[in-house]
Amino acid sequence: MTSPRPLAPDSAHPLPPGAGYLRVLRPGDPFSSGELTAMVSDGILRRVVLDAYVPVGVALTRATKVRVLRAVIPQHLQRRGVLGRLGAAWFYDCADVPDPLPILVAKDARTTTTLPHGFSLHQTVFNAFDRVSHEAMSVTSPLRTAVDVALHVETPEGTRALHWLMASPHLHCPPELVLAALDAVGKKPGRRQALARVRKVGRAVERGYEATGR
C-alpha cells in the first residue's frame, strides 16, 4: 500500500468568497489546441482537467481546481450535478484526475441532456451532509467520497484513493467512520465487498498511523 500523500489542511472546507482570480486557458480562448500543447511541452502551461490549462507557476490548490472545473463543466451540470467518486478524491488531493470526470446527479433530476465528452453521469441519492459547496461547485463530502469509492471504484486507483482519504486526519473520515457509513446504506450491490475493502485498507492505514506516530 502506498503511503498517504501530504494534503493541505483546509482541503475539506468551503472556499472563502472571492478567493482570487485565475485565467483558465482552453482551445480557442485565445490559443489553439496545438498551441496549448506546445506550451505544455515548453514548460509554460500545465494541463489540469480535460482541455483546461493553467500556467506552470500556479499552485494546484482547491481554488485553482474550482476555477478549472467551472471552466470545463457545462452550466447545467454545475447546477444539477456534484463532482464525485475519483473526481472528488482528486479535489481532496487523494487521487490523480480521472478520465472521464464522474458527475453525480440526484435520481429525480432530469438526465435527458446530451453528456459532453470527458464526463460520466451517475444517478444516486444524496443525504443532507453528502455535498459540500465550493463557490458554485458542489463536491461530495470526504466521507461520502470514501463510501462511493469503496462501493464503485474496484481498481488500484480506487484503493489508493480510499487509503489517502481515510489516512488524512483533516478530512475526518477514518476507517471506523467509513465502515459505519457503509453499514448505514443498507442492502446495496457490492456493499459486502466494499466493507471488506475498507477493513483491509483500514488496517494498512492504522499501521501507517503507528509508524508515523499519529
pLDDT score of 110: 64
Closest CA to 200 of 172, 145, 160: 160
CA distance 147 to 180: 10
Question: Length of the chain in residues, anyone?
Answer: 214
156 in Cβ contact with 144 (< 8 Å): no
pLDDT score of 155: 95
Beta-carbon count within 10 A of 137 CB: 21
pLDDT score of 200: 95
102 phi, psi to nearest 5 deg = -80, 125
* Residues with pLDDT less than 50, the chain: 1-4, 6-20, 210-214
111 in Cβ contact with 123 (< 8 Å): yes
48 phi, psi to nearest 5 deg = -105, -65
pLDDT score of 21: 62
Residue 28 φ/ψ region, left for φ over 0, alpha for ψ in the -120 to 50 degree band, beta for the rest: left
pLDDT score of 111: 60
23 phi, psi to nearest 5 deg = -85, 115
CA distance 108 to 95: 29
Task: Give tens-digit pLDDT for 68-124.
Answer: 999 999 998 898 899 999 999 999 999 999 999 999 999 886 665 677 889 999 999
